Structure 1
Amino acid sequence: MNNPKPRFLQIKQYLLEEIHSGRFAVHHKIPPEEQLARDFGVSRMTANKAIRDLVQEGYLVRQPGLGTFVTDQKSESPLSEINNIAEEVRSRGHLYSNRVLLCEEVNADDEIALRLGVRVGSKVFHSIIVHRENDIAIQLENRYVNPRWVPDYLNTDFSRQTPNEVLVAACPITDLEHVVEAVLPDARSASWLETEINQPCLSMIRRTWSGDHLISYARLLHPGNRYKLRSSVRRQQNHRNQN
């Protein structure tokens, strides 16, 4: 005999179905706990648990005195860390995939040489990959790698390993640099990201080091309506008594 689904999960499933269907759009105010409790024949505490779970999972946000609203479910990445984008997508319970557009060895021009800390004309590895979440493009990764530190980079099957996984396996990342700005994509980038050329994007320049070695330089482009960056900083409090 199958156990019936707990009532709070029934409420949670109902709310998720309304959100995913678009009937509860972004910024839509969901029914209050009292109404959900009446509709499902449960206590207010049970309805509260369903809502609380969805708040913790990022689907809803509470506004004191106003109610509970559907959040903008953009993909999110921490700005102060380097995460494997495949794991990041899967951690949200979503499907990760990618499309490899280019994988080649090139001669470093002035910009790449400066960014990667090599001489102009040096051989470097170059890859361009579109990362997808639930088959929606969320990041265009244009990466250059110093072959001295990651010699097998071009031999990677990127359908099985992301560039991040390859770099971390070859050289533990000790330092990183991020530069972020809002830009409009060029026509080719917009086509790869399946977005419009007038859609603002978040552009991130990322350089990574392993000890004293500059390993990689990447340009990461995210459609602004599908992605957001987050930064958390913990400040140490000064507990010294002031006289």
Structure 2
Amino acid sequence: MSFSLIVFDWDGTLMDSQARIVDCLQAAFLEVGQPRPSREAAADIIGLGLDEAMARLWPAADAAQRQRVAHHYRRHFLVDNTTPAALFPGALETLERLGAAGYLLAVATGKSRRGLDLSLAETGLAGHFQATRCADESFSKPHPQMLLEIMDELGVAPACTLMIGDTEYDLQMAANAGAGALAVCYGVHAPERLRALRPLACLNSLAAIPDWLRQTDGAAVA
């Protein structure tokens, strides 16, 4: 293996935003007079595009009803909600180490463009990534479009691309795009679910990624 492009998922991989997303989803359902989904059900769809998430959480709803919930969710997440969401420990240091080692870095996320841009601005991480793709710009995970477009933009082949994420959707997207997949086991989906998809490894922290690359990929990561 010899990777030159590393693509990160955002929520649950780089940012600990599960509680905020779940709170906003539950509040959005209550606003339209629907029972709120359980915290477990709401967390399970993190990583999908918002339309796909609404379809799973309220399968009996029509398109207009789902759009109403999505509208309220966006308002809560982008404006009203104050639930803290912070980078996971080691996120900045890991990105700095990988960038210094010469890797191209990118993000493929189920967030909207507005949501990702807000998070990048709040965390100051925008300058670390050479490309980003969001679910409102393409098909949702696990469809490979986001990953394929990133690889095409940066001129990197699937065999040289590594997708890092915390959900089945990330790993399935990587497989569908012909890219390598590395799981992190501290996020949304349980480690046993991730390991069932046979990622290259399932790591317990972001800080472990550079060492794994050095040992597995022969990379000179300081």
TM-score of the superposed pair, with normalisation by structure 2:
0.25
Bigger Cα Rg: 1
TM-score of the superposed pair, with normalisation by structure 1:
0.23
Greater relative contact order (Cα < 8 A, sep 6+): 2
